[in-house]
């Protein structure tokens, strides 16, 4: 599933063709994805101007001139693909309609944004913009890891006395929003913290290290356009490249990248998810 860097990369790719533009025509080609689409969604979107395109955790939020906000979740295989617009040095013509093109936005100016989702685990919803933060998917989220509300004091307070592995704690969306399996593995490696160590045993010095490392890893991943492992593509159809910078994730059995270490990286399963780490560098 796309994590924060992938969703942020898609949002940034959509900005030139959506933010400040009118949705000239919206088409909804099936009744549901992960759950049913809102009643009359196509009609409610058609003619609306996208006043702002923002991100909350792993959700893209389009604030509309109608006073509603469109929530978009990419799910496992969802893609927001742009055609009919100049993207950098390339012009992408409109492709022929594809089987899994479930929602299509024809924007003023000729650009088209298509939500394609083969597995149909994605989702869209409409809500009043003024009440967006009360939406069931958003109201439970912790602070954004790249925002000012995520800091050492917050993290220390949420980890204190917690008898759960630090890996699981950092994946808790109530604690911090948007972190996923890939980037938590990478952060814990850089911090030298074993993923199975209990959250309550992480020292104050390590907490102080974790906050900037989380921001560092996410910023690097966004700069690289996210990580393409299976279905993920950027809005222009290109792959992300951060997977080429993985230091531990999906590198089981390979040598640790820390100079002079030489240990083989290991994998364990925690709560049904793979954790990759160095048994020498991470304690």
pLDDT, one tens digit per residue, over 50-85 is 999 999 999 999 999 999 999 999 998 888 988 887
Q: How many CB atoms lie within 10 A of CB 123?
A: 20
Domains of the chain, residue spans: 4-134, 152-277
pLDDT at 74: 92
For domain 4-134, give the CATH number: 3.20.190.10
Mean pLDDT (the chain) is 90
Q: What does the alpha-carbon distance between residue 259 and residue 184 come to, in Å, rounded to a whole number? A: 22
pLDDT at 91: 55
Q: Which residues are catalytic?
A: 2-3, 58, 273
What tens digit of pLDDT does each residue of 113-138 get?
A: 999 999 999 999 999 999 999 999 99
pLDDT at 97: 82
Question: Residue 208 pLDDT > 60, yes or no?
Answer: yes
pLDDT at 77: 85
What tens digit of pLDDT does each residue of 94-117 get?
A: 878 889 999 999 999 999 999 999
Rg value, the chain, Cα = 20
pLDDT at 229: 43
Quote the tokens at residue 244.
């080429």
pLDDT at 95: 78
For domain 152-277, give the CATH number: 1.10.8.50
User: Mean of the pLDDT values across residues 13-37?
Assistant: 96
**Helix, strand and coil percent figures for the chain, each rounded to 5:** 30, 25, 45
Question: Residue 235 pLDDT > 70, yes or no?
Answer: no
Query: How open is the CA angle 250-145-196, to the nearest 5 degrees?
Result: 45
């Amino acid at each position: 599933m796309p994590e924060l860097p992938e969703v942020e990369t898609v949002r940034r790719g959509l900005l030139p063709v959506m933010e400040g533009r009118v949705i000239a025509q919206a088409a909804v080609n099936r009744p549901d994805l992960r759950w049913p689409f809102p009643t009359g969604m196509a009609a409610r979107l058609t003619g609306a101007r996208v006043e702002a395109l923002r991100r909350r955790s792993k959700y893209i939020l389009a604030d509309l001139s109608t006073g509603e906000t469109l929530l978009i979740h990419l799910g496992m295989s969802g893609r927001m693909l742009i055609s009919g617009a100049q993207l950098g040095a390339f012009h992408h013509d409109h492709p022929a309609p594809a089987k899994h093109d479930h929602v299509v936005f024809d924007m003023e100016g000729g650009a088209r944004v298509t939500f394609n989702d083969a597995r149909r685990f994605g989702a869209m919803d409409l809500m009043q913009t003024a009440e967006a933060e009360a939406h069931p998917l958003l109201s439970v989220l912790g602070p954004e890891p790249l925002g000012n509300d995520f800091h050492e004091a917050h993290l220390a307070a949420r980890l204190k006395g917690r008898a759960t592995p630090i890996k699981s704690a950092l994946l808790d969306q109530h604690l911090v929003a948007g972190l996923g399996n890939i980037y938590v593995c990478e952060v814990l490696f850089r911090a030298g913290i074993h993923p199975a160590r209990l959250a309550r045993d992480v020292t104050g010095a390590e907490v102080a290290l974790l906050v900037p490392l989380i921001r560092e890893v996410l910023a690097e991943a966004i700069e690289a356009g996210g990580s393409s492992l299976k279905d993920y593509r950027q809005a222009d159809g290109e792959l992300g490249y951060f997977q080429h910078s993985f230091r531990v994730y999906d590198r089981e059995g390979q040598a640790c990248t820390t100079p002079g270490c030489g240990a083989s990286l290991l994998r364990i399963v925690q709560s049904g998810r793979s954790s990759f780490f160095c048994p020498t560098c991470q304690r």
